Amino acid sequence: MLMNLQEPNVLKVRKHEVFVAREVPAATVMVTGDWHISPVVSDLQYEYLKQAISVANPDLIMLTGDIVDSPVELKRETSVRKLVRELLLCSKAAPTVMVLGSHDFITPTRPARVASRFALPRWRSLCDKCGVTLLLDEFFETDSLRVFGAFQDERCVLTYDKTGSLRHFDNVYEFEQKLSQFDFSSEVLSLDKANWFLSHAPMVNAKVAEDLAGFDILSFGHTHGGIVPRGLDDAFDKLGVNFGLISPHKRPFAPVARGMMPVGDGSLMLINGGMVGAQFAAPKTLRQLNHVKAAEVSVVEIQPES
């Protein structure tokens, strides 16, 4: 669905229907993330979220992380005001859960610096204040959904380069090792509700997909939809493709960057394109694409297969 605010194609509310092969209650979930709140992010983002919530009328809102552009923003008064305003907008509309992305607890400098000792307590305080449930490797449950929010900690998003400096890196192996500590068996996952796995970056290999096979939906953000500029993403949608033009790691034609797709044995993977472009992650020659990328919100309507 296309919404026009100040100009065409500025906000996309992408709707997906999911039919679960069990008798589960119907539910509507709105997924958003990659707000990257900072002084350069327009206040219009609040209006985009407000209109998206009005369209979705969700039973639950999920935030996929990278809510701020850097933990430094948690100390900046203007950014905190934006953050609180948007978190309250969500929590007043529906129960809201969130996971953290790397930008929420690591400073995106070269080399990257870990700021989790400051950031995690600050996030807990802000989420409590705004009525948002922060999921750090734990479950959240409603009448119709059982959600597990996985925290991709420093091991999963940092590695050492040849000089010994930390740098951002999606470490799928470490995420796999982390998930192996949890037993997502039928005794834990619900038989009479939809099971949802929520995390930030789509670090999904064959082993991760196998470990998460009991979940109906795996939901991520991080990719910014492959930074597809406004208008061109309509053509991509009609073709049914889920690749993007460039990934946050500057790889061209990112293969899995957007939309809903099957993964593993019976699960579906949803990648939300986020509210803003990749900002400073893209090469300078491509940064203009960030300003023409539509803000994106995903809405998933869950129904029993019968």
Q: What value does the mean pLDDT take over residues 37-60?
A: 90
> Sign of dihedral through CA atoms 92, 192, 64, 226?
negative
The pLDDT tens digits of the residues spanning 209-249 come to 999 999 999 999 998 887 777 777 777 777 777 777 776 66
pLDDT reading at 285 higher than 80:
no
Domains, the chain, with CATH or none: 2-304 (3.60.21.10)
Which element (helix H / strand E) includes 239? helix 232-239
Secondary structure of residue 253 in the 3-state scheme: coil
At residue 282, the pLDDT reads: 40
% residues pLDDT > 90 (the chain): 58
Angstrom distance (rounded) from CA 190 to CA 24: 10
pLDDT 10s digits, 268-278 = 999 999 988 65
Mean pLDDT within 25-54: 91
Per-residue pLDDT of 257-268, as tens digits, reads 888 999 988 899
Q: What is the pLDDT of residues 65-84, one digit of tens each?
A: 999 999 999 999 999 999 99
Vertex 277: Cα angle to 273 and 279 (nearest 5):
140
Q: Letter for the amino acid at 261?
A: M
pLDDT band at 250 (very low <50, low <70, confident <90, very high): low
What pTM was estimated for this model as a whole? 0.91
**CA–CA separation, 305 and 30 (whole Å):** 20
